[in-house]
Amino acid sequence: MGVPATHEFFVDPARCIGCNACVQACTECDTHKGYAMIQLDIVDRASSPQTIPVVCMHCDSPTCAEVCPADAIKRTADGVVQTARKPRCIACNNCVLACPFGVPKMNTGMRLMMKCDMCYDRTSVGKKPMCASVCPSQALFFGTASEIERLRPSSRPVRTFRFGEQVVTTRVHLMVPRRSAPAQIDVLGALAGAPLGSAGTDRSDPLLAAMDGGLA
């Protein structure tokens, strides 16, 4: 079996309440050996309590796999990018440095790159990822496109991101305000903007709006 083609992973940053339930649940996934493969980032501690869950975006053309000299990182037929295979990983950190989303982490003790694999042991048999199963605000949602459209009428999923000249498409979707949703999100443009909460922040930018609580 594999992850059903009808089911997608959606991240809705504005709904994140910083409870860390996802982080704790991730450590309990059978394949993670007690390590959390999700992290909770504070967007701008000085001006906002807003947090955002960071998971692997499962790129259609994963940069981490492309730069791996040992061919340790595999992408399954259903679009899930797996943690590096222990027998092949040489702990070179190429994947850590290359990922545009900053997701892979090197476990120096194990000499192994570990990252979110969308709880493949669960999703491949029809269950939700651990993080999505416990998220009280549904900032992390695993389901169908029709379900998310019904639950988020003011938002729209986007899965195309621009990093300078590089355009990345992903299996995981980011929910952004429908009123300003572009075909793709300019990540570097958003990061170059004024700090969240300042007078100069461009609220029309979908990524900033999403992180700053601009979603319904």
User: Please, which residues have CB within 8 angstroms of residue 52's CB and are 6 or more apart in sequence?
Assistant: 13, 16, 40, 41, 43, 211
Average pLDDT, stretch 102-117?
Answer: 92
pTM for the structure as a whole:
0.84
Per-residue pLDDT tens digits for 169-213:
999 999 998 887 677 888 877 766 634 333 334 444 445 555 444
Range of the domain at 164: 8-211
Q: Is residue 216 part of a domain?
A: no
User: Please, which residues have CB within 8 angstroms of residue 120's CB and are 6 or more apart in sequence?
Assistant: 3, 31, 76, 80, 82
Instruction: Grade residue 45 by pLDDT with cuts at 50, 70 and 90.
Output: confident
Q: Alpha-carbon distance 50 to 65, whole Å? A: 31
Q: Is residue 149 part of a domain?
A: yes
Per-residue pLDDT tens digits for 122-174:
999 989 999 999 999 999 999 999 999 999 999 999 999 999 888 999 999 99
Q: Is residue 174 part of a domain?
A: yes
| pLDDT value at residue 30 | 77
Q: Side chain identity at 93, as an amino acid letter? A: N
Domains contained in the chain, number: 1
CATH number at residue 78: 3.30.70.20
Q: Which two tokens mark 25? A: 């649940």
Rg of the chain on CA atoms, in Å: 17
Q: Is residue 2 part of a domain?
A: no
